[in-house]
Structure 1
Amino acid sequence: MQRYMLTIRSASLTGYADLARHVGLDPARMLRRVGLNARDLVDPDTPISTDAVRELLENSAAAANVEDFGLQLAMRRRLSNLGPISAVMSEAPTGRDALESLCRYIRLINASLLTRIEDYGDAVLIRENILMSDKNSVRQSIEMAVGVLYRSMEELLGPNWRPRSVCFEHRPPDGATCHKTFFRSAVEFNSSVNGIVCHAKDLAAYRAGGDSQMALYARRFLDQALSGANESTTHTIRQVIVAMLPNGRCTADQVARHLGVDRRTLQRRLSAEETSFSALLQVIRCELASRQIRDSDRSLSELADLLGFSSSSAFAFWFRKHFGMTVSNWREAQ
């Protein structure tokens, strides 16, 4: 299978050096360990490896023994750190419109981040998923992503806005952190999703827009960038599989239908990138399973649901076949 390097704007590390020094780390040394250097962070639009950023955040949290390192980095963000997207979001007539723009253009900022809006009656979930090509933890990256989303929504909806809850798939931290202080609402760990649950009426409320001419220019610029984005078929299908898996409806036919092609076209495009749908599905399930088991305290049945299996026994059989041991033995080994 061909590797497709995903990138993220270096603006994602705005404030990293100051925070690293604050917690007793040498930022230059930490950057070098993952193949980055301070020059990469001078221009906020410089594309850098998402794998390197994920590794940097995890290494920094571990080296400083700061469990909420990614969240502390998000605390230093403003909506403007999203670049041209912030102009489009600021002009939007409602919070919902602003978030839909974010979902549309997010891959121009961070190719590994998948942001989706899901409606549940009077509640709206803004779900975040990070797509990585390995089995390593993404705890710090997902906390930073959800933190940046929260900061952006707070600027858009006003300081009195409060979400219903903020959710993380990983287990709660062992020590004291800034989660409750930062989010000012209920924080749920070992959740079935990563993201923010809002009141639908808050997102539907009309809000005063910003500079409409600037927003129009920014949208044209972003649409042009989106049309020219060189995204692999494999990466596109990874996004769809991750979105569909928890609903238990992730087959090649269903993914092809979602993308507006037939199954043979889907398989042909994947074959051109030296993979297949079944191989990609197995790789993604292995990546997600290993992260969930290592970073959360979910039961076998919950894991089966998240990975799209019909039963816990089906998941247990699949896991033993691919990992060579039971879930409990693998968890102990980690």
Structure 2
Amino acid sequence: MWHLTYHLEAPLSVRPLARYAALHGYIELAEPLGIDPIKVLRAAGLDPAGMDVQDRWVPAAAISRVLETSAVAARREDFALLLAQHRRFSNLGPLSVSIREAPDARSALETLIRYQHMYNEALHLHLSERRDLTTLIVNYDTKADVGTRQALELATTVGYQLLRTILGDAWRPVAVCFQHGPPSDTGTHRKVFDSDVRFDQHFTGIISTTADLRKPNRMSDPMLRSYTRTLLESVETANPPTVLTRVRELIELLLPTGRCSLDQVSRSLGVHRKTVHRHLAQSGETFTSVLDSIRVELAERLVADNRYSLTEISEMLAFSTPNSFSRWFRGHFGVSARVWRASAQVGEDFASS
């Protein structure tokens, strides 16, 4: 047996992140199953409003916590398989463009593996070949004390759906394997995979004939391959996320929950608060300065938007009282929030006239 592995380590020794796209369709699935999705998301430290921003990065552990909690709440051990039915090829973001134009199924998987860090840092895939069989092995590590059964099943199902999309509905894997034990009812698993489903195996993954993976990609257009390769390379060569970048993302995420603090951000990153402080200092920042700059950016946008009252905005920006927000706003913008809002509205009216 030999292994073909592409693995790019996360640039920071912190807990891995994942894109909100991992939960695509979650609210639509949760509500009919009797789950309060807003409550579950907030309990996991996620901002429900952020679900609309699929490319936003959040702690992978929080994604796993949402999946595990929901499976228990709905009493559906097949929760991840149901959620996978809501996934779209486009949920892979820029990566979907390159995979679509891969010449064959194996090339598509190799692209997925090579660039897996672009959509989920907790997910680790690799290909293992033996004789005439090739196995896509799936591992999931959040580096946190949280169950990963549902996350593993979601990733495996998405991988299976990808291969079906590339090879056609007639394709069947040799077997789909899970390291964990079987659910009380395996009906959904056997229906979704329509093949041999095995539990209590020594790995989680999809076994296919090597010949099948050499078959051409039904979606591929040879004329577009050079373009998609250039596009993906340009995305990959972008600067990797820094501690400052991740702190900013987490502050934006945590502010509306009322739990935005250095301790909470440090826990989400999986490092000590002193480590965060040290990295920010190297960038000439402090936690307070970053928090304040994000509040300025958000306040400027939110105050100009008449959909929110100033009291609601003060809560969204985690101020203790509306008066505290008013004093802070005047100190940064030189005028009251009400005057700023009125001026912004006048500007809009002038632009539209």
- Once the two structures are overlaid, the 10-residue window that deviates more, 153-162 or 132-141, is 132-141
Paired residue for 1:109, among 119, 122, 138? 119
Give the structure 2 partner of residue 148 of structure 1: 158
Aligned amino acid, residue 171 of structure 2: W
SS class of match (1:89)? helix
Query: For 1:192, what is the secondary structure of its paired residue?
Result: coil
Does residue 40 in structure 1 map to residue 50 in structure 2? Answer: yes
Alignment of 1:131 onto 2:173: no
The 3 A distance-change label for structure 1 pair 26 and 224 is: same
Task: Return the TM-score normalized by structure 1.
Answer: 0.65
| 1:164 to 2:174 alignment | yes
Q: Deviation string for 1:301-332 (max 9, x for gaps)? A: xxxxxxxxxxxxxxxxxxxxxxxxxxxxxxxx
Give 1:213 shift.
5.9
Which TM-score applies when normalising by structure 2?
0.62
**Partners of 1:131 and 1:231 in 2: CA distance:** 19
Aligned-partner Cα distance in 2 for 1:123–1:231: 37
Tell me whether 78-87 or 209-218 shows the greater mean CA deviation.
209-218
Greater radius of gyration (CA): 2
Q: CA deviation at 1:181?
A: 0.1
Specify which of 68, 85, 107 is matched with residue 75 of structure 1: 85
Q: What pairs up with 1:223-242 in 2 under 5 angstroms? A: 223-228=233-238, 230=240
Farther-moved stretch of structure 1 (205-214 vs 39-48): 205-214
Q: Which runs of 5+ in 1 are unaligned?
A: 233-272, 274-334
Name whichever of 62-71 and 154-163 sits farther off: 62-71
Kept in 1, the 8 Å contact 2:15–2:59? The answer is yes
1:138-166 per-position Cα deviation (integer Å, ceiling 9, x unaligned): 00000000011011110000000000000
1:70 Cα deviation from its structure 2 partner: 1.1
User: 1:150/1:142 Cα in 2 relative to 1: closer, same or farther (>3 Å)?
Assistant: same
Q: Which stretch of structure 1 is more off in the superposition, 167-176 or 180-189?
A: 167-176
CA change 1:114–1:167 in 2 (3 A) is: same
Determine if contact 1:85/1:222 at 8 Å carries over to the other structure.
yes
Q: What's the % identity of the aligned pairs?
A: 34
Task: Find the partner of 1:200 among 210, 223, 233.
Answer: 210
CA contact (8 A) 2:103 2:220 kept: no
| Contact 1:79–1:152, Cα closer than 8 Å, also in 2 | yes
RMSD after superposition: 2.0
**Aligned letter for 2:149?**
R
229 and 170 in structure 1: CA distance in 2 versus 1, 3 angstrom threshold: farther
Which residue matches 1:52?
62
- Given residue 208 of structure 2, which amino acid in structure 1 is its aligned partner? C
The 1-side partners of 2:201 and 2:32 are apart by 31
Q: How far apart are the structure 1 equivalents of 2:237 and 2:150? A: 31
User: Aligned partners of 2:187, 2:147: CA distance in 1, in Å?
Assistant: 19
Q: Contact between 2:113 and 2:126, CA under 8 Å: does it hold in 1? A: yes
Cα offsets for 1:259-312 (capped at 9, x unmatched): xxxxxxxxxxxxxx9xxxxxxxxxxxxxxxxxxxxxxxxxxxxxxxxxxxxxxx
Q: Which stretches of structure 1, 4 residues or longer, exceed 6 Å deviation after superposition?
A: none
- Report deviation, 1:52: 0.5
After TM superposition, the structure 1 stretch with the greater mean CA deviation from structure 2, 184-193 or 35-44, is: 35-44
Count of residue pairs brought into register by the alignment: 232
Distance in structure 1 (CA, Å) of the matches to 2:36 and 2:23: 15
Shift of the 215–12 alpha-carbon distance from structure 1 to 2, 3 Å rule, reads: farther
Give the corresponding residue for 1:86: 96
Aligned residues of 1:15 and 1:73 also touching (Cα < 8 A): yes
Structure 2 gaps of 5+ residues are 1-11, 243-274, 276-353
Q: Secondary structure at the match of 2:207?
A: strand
Q: Is the Cα contact below 8 Å between 2:98 and 2:232 reproduced in 1?
A: no
Q: Retained in 2: the 8 A contact 1:87–1:215? A: no
